[in-house]
Amino acid sequence: MKKLFISLYVIVFVALSFQQKPPIDSTEKLVETMHKRYQGKAAKSVTFTQYNTLYQADTISGKSIWYEAIVYPDKFRIDFGELKDGNAVIFARDSVFNFKEGKNTRKAPFKNNLILLAGGMNFMSKEKVLEELKNAGYQIDKFRKDEYEGRKVYVIGAEKGDWATPQFWIDQKNLYLVRTFEKMPNGDVREARFSKHIRSGKGWIETEVLFLVNGKKTQLEEYKNIKSNVSLDLRIFDAEHFGKVHWLSR
């Protein structure tokens, strides 16, 4: 009898192990699943050096190096070239600050959607994520499954074949961002392709991003010297402290 009981227990355990997980068939369920996997586990902060290749008519037109720091969900800084030149942009919460030669030349309301999609979602409540996606112009009720470069993806925001409506594509297996589309003010369609992901904390970070406008390459970003969960002085994201503190000069 004891052996029979053990056998039945093993059969039930194996059967339960192979039960299919609840299907992801909406943006809300996708966010819930992403949170279960990465919330509290993905890297909270990251720094890296970005190597840029610029294109015109699919021909290389220039190269540059930027230095970037992120604290999710909503702080992002880019320094363009040498720190001593004082050229940078800071995205903090719902504002953007531009600096040229050490001077704050512009402040404006702005939210960086790519930071939200590429990692920020893991540091917000589900309700906040859905609200932010709506505010960013994504039609979250439009949810479908598709394939992209041999992988299965979830597509949020647009019907199949519609490239002009804001949309983002999430890898079904690893639940990270792989593609976005948006229509620019002048009517052009900008696409971003995120690839060569590596581990960042217990989450992921892309190491290449290719931007295209109307199907033609405009910029390739390659991330090097990536450091995750670094301790950053939050004053680097404060316009009032620009030029006084920086993560590279620590």
Length of the chain: 250
Residue 249: the pLDDT is 67
Q: Is residue 11 part of a domain?
A: no
Q: Give me the residues of the chain with pLDDT under 70, please.
A: 1-20, 249-250
Tokens of 143: 């949810």
Query: At residue 103, what are phi and psi to the nearest 5 degrees?
Result: -110, 140
Question: Measuring CA to CA, which residue among 130, 154, 149 is closest to residue 24?
Answer: 154
Measured in whole angstroms, the distance separating CA 143 from the mean position of its chain's CA atoms is 19
Residue 248: the pLDDT is 86
Residue 148: the pLDDT is 98
Q: Is the peptide bond before 22 cis (omega within 30 degrees of 0)?
A: no
Residue 5: the pLDDT is 52
DSSP assignment of 184-246: -TTS-EEEEEEE--EEEBTEEE-SEEEEEETTEEEEEEEEEEEEES----GGGG-GGGTTT--
Q: Is residue 188 part of a domain?
A: yes
Q: What is the DSSP letter of 21?
A: P
Question: How many domains is the chain partitioned into structurally?
Answer: 1
Q: d(Cα 246, Cα 232) in Å, to the nearest integer?
A: 9
Residue 3: the pLDDT is 55
- The CATH number of whichever domain residue 48 belongs to comes to 2.50.20.10
- pTM score, whole prediction: 0.90
Q: Is residue 19 part of a domain?
A: no
Question: Measuring CA to CA, which residue among 94, 150, 127 is closest to residue 27?
Answer: 127
Spell out the residues 6+ positions from residue 219 whose beta carbon is closer than 8 angstroms to its own: 52, 53, 54, 55, 210, 211
Do 76 and 241 touch, CB atoms closer than 8 A?
no
Q: d(Cα 32, Cα 52) in Å, to the nearest integer?
A: 34
Residue 57: the pLDDT is 87
The sign of the torsion formed by the CA atoms of 169, 122, 91, 138 equals: positive
Q: Is residue 181 part of a domain?
A: yes
Spell out the residues 6+ positions from residue 36 whose beta carbon is closer than 8 angstroms to its own: none
Residue 16: the pLDDT is 46
DSSP assignment of 119-188: TGGGGS-HHHHHHHHHHTT--TT-EEEEEETTEEEEEESS-TT--SS-EEEEETTT--EEEEEEE-TTS-
Q: Is residue 119 part of a domain?
A: yes
Residue 22: the pLDDT is 79
State the residue range of the domain holding 37: 27-249
Residue 11: the pLDDT is 53
